[in-house]
Amino acid sequence: MDKAFFFQQGNDQQVFCHLCAHGCRIKEGKTGICGVRKNVGGILYPLTYGRIISGHVDPIEKKPFFHICPGSLAYSIATVGCNFQCLNCQNYQISQFPGTGQPVPGKDTTPEEVVENTIRSGCASIAYTYTEPTVFFEFSYDTARLAKDRGLYNLYVTNGFMTSEAAVHLSAVLDGANIDLKSFSDGFYRKVCKARLAPVLNTIRLLKKHGVWVEVTTLIIPGMNDSEDELRQIAGFIKATDPGIPWHVSAFYPTYKMMDAPPTPPESLMRARDIGLDSGLRYVYTGNVKVADAENTFCYKCGQAVVKRSRYTVLSNRLKNGCCPDCGTAIDGIWDRS
């Protein structure tokens, strides 16, 4: 097993992990918060390398990416583990698996095999998703380098809680990142995710600055992050970074350790969407619930629908070389690799 990226050796065989913003100090024989990066003899090793727990073909819209190659397929992979401990995690069985103390499960897979499976499946991209791809950084990076050489897109679906060093390194092989901006409250991040807000904001800015296509997703949880003030803060941050960043506002459903919160009503999503558009964002979408026209992409200049969708299915795509066919405005996104 090759050693991990982004760590520093300390005294008494301790190591300091610089992959994510937790900055774990890890003693000999122990792992960091993610549970999948272990100190063995003063060297940090990724226990997840090549241990694929899930590999599926998904519509790219399901990730969700609405502004990269609409209607295409993404080969989605994951390992166990996460650097968050979200109370409402939908994939807690695999994200929190390292906490069971059992050996890391998964099918031994090489980066070459992932790329070949992607091509064989007719997919245009590889999505590193389901759990947090930062914790299987080495495998995702090696796979992404090969994928890029074969003309495939590389997509991270991430909580964004990585260091600046890791984000810049990743940007060399990454085409797109959908980053969860779970709240604009550091208190929410500390209570619900056992993390912090500032590193997530930094990653959004940094990946955008380094040429990665960024989309942002916020899961709207009633009574926790759905106030008008907070939604305006999120929208304002996105606009200040780039008004062309799509914002996905998605419905929450009770799960895991957050069974007492009610599901998000559709009208709350529409209110969040209106706030985003009113704040100057060009593209705001609803998710996890059917709302008429709220999945469609509209030209921000003339208002005409250029891509129509329904539950991860593209019904029509009128874009002409990435531009609105009615007024000629360039629509933000990656529509064609050429």
The per-residue DSSP string of 80-93 comes to S--S---TT-TTHH
CB-neighbour burial class of residue 239 (10 A; exposed 0-12, middle 13-18, buried 19+):
middle
pLDDT in the model for residue 291:
82
pLDDT in the model for residue 337:
55
Considering only CA atoms, which of 144, 160, 154, 75 is closest in space to residue 111?
144
pLDDT digits (tens, 9 = 90+) for 27-45: 999 999 999 999 999 999 9
Contacts of 102 (CB under 8 A, 6+ apart): none
pLDDT in the model for residue 338:
42
| Ordered alpha helix ranges (H), 5-136 | 92-95, 111-120
Considering only CA atoms, which of 143, 150, 207, 202 is closest in space to residue 175?
207
pLDDT in the model for residue 51:
97
Token pair 């005409």: residue:
304
The 10 Å CB-count burial string (b at 16+, else e) for 293-316 is ebbbbbbbeeeebbbbbeeeebee
Give this prediction's pTM.
0.97
For the chain, residues with pLDDT lower than 50 are 338
Sheet strands (E) in 37-100: 37-40, 43-46, 51-52, 54-59, 73-78
Tokens of 259: 């069974």
pLDDT in the model for residue 311:
86
| Ordered alpha helix ranges (H), the chain | 92-95, 111-120, 137-149, 164-171, 186-188, 198-209, 228-241, 266-278
